[in-house]
Amino acid sequence: MNAVEATSRYFKQAVRILGLDSRLERCLLIPFREVKVECTIPKDNGSLVSFVGFRVQHDNSRGPMKGGIRYHSAVEPDEVNALGQLMTWKTAVANLPYGGAKGGINCNPRDLSVHELERLTRIFTQKIHDLIGIHTDIPAPDMGTDAQTMAWILDEYSKFHGHSPAVVTGKPIDLGGSLGRVSATGKGVLFALEALLADHAKCISNQSYVIQGFGNVGSWTAQLLFECGGRVRVVSDITGAVKNEAGLDIPSLIKHVQKAGGVAAFPGADYVDPNGIFAEECDVLIPAAIGGVLNKYGT
């Protein structure tokens, strides 16, 4: 089952519960617009390389469409479509005046220099600038992108439409970004977890945790759990997995990742096989990497 099929399956279950008619169901499943663009850039060595970028604008009936842009080698049309759908449902459930969208470029950002990432972001923006805007579609950071990526999009978009800081969220504070945005998703995980544990008469500080993924969401979740007295035993990312039975020193691990580029070789822990992270003993498992990792195969 691919990403669109999985998302649509749950949507159809909700349709039956809500008693929506088939016409409305079809309208809500079909995206407003799907865009696929070619992005060719010069690399630092002078050679040319091409990437494919996507933007799916799913629904705008509640307001401007809203959704992140991710840079990852697994980005493909079905995934972007499914994530765009989910943004529509999330903004509606939260009663926010936005619709849903999602975008991305199929690339491995770790293989590109900062200058190459800037060129790629700017050419992608050139290809979609007439389809996004403060009243139309507002991008945001996602996997593999950050505040700097949003700053490049803002600058490139402004070349065509004038200075428009509201065209993206998640931009640097100096360009009009919001305080607390970087930690927001991690805090969302913490708040949801606190509510879940409270239903079982438990609290954060008395539990052990395993976290898959140590990007923005995973690292902030780990930091907040650590500050609340939680014992984060195992953490993994694309470079490997590390374990400390007594609990990882998360602030030190974050400093290590900033210098080394990943959790591998962290001196305050033992190395473990990242493929076996879901078999590690814990009270709470937090998948904070790509989607689709929890399935019938157990990986």
Q: Are residues 262 and 240 in contact, defined by beta-carbon separation less than 8 angstroms? A: yes
Closest CA to 255 of 244, 243, 267, 245: 267
DSSP state of 298: -
Query: Is residue 44 exposed (0-12), middle (13-18) or buried (19+ Cβ within 10 Å)?
Result: exposed
Dist. CA 139–CA 116, nearest whole Å: 20
- Whole-angstrom distance between the N-terminal and C-terminal Cα of the chain? 15
Catalytic: which of 12, 36, 90, 102? Answer: 102
Order the strands of the 99-106 sheet from edge to edge: 33-42, 48-59, 99-106, 65-72, 137-141
Of 23, 14, 31, 191, residue with least CA distance to 93 = 14
E strand residue ranges, 77-151: 99-106, 137-141
Does the annotation mark 202 as catalytic? no
**Under DSSP, is residue 23 helix (H, G, I), strand (E, B) or coil?**
helix
The CA-CA-CA angle for residues 102, 104, 108, to 5°, reads 150
CA distance 245 to 272: 12
Q: Where are the beta strands (DSSP E) in the chain?
A: 33-42, 48-59, 65-72, 99-106, 137-141, 208-212, 231-237, 240-243, 270-272, 284-287
Q: Which residues are catalytic?
A: 102
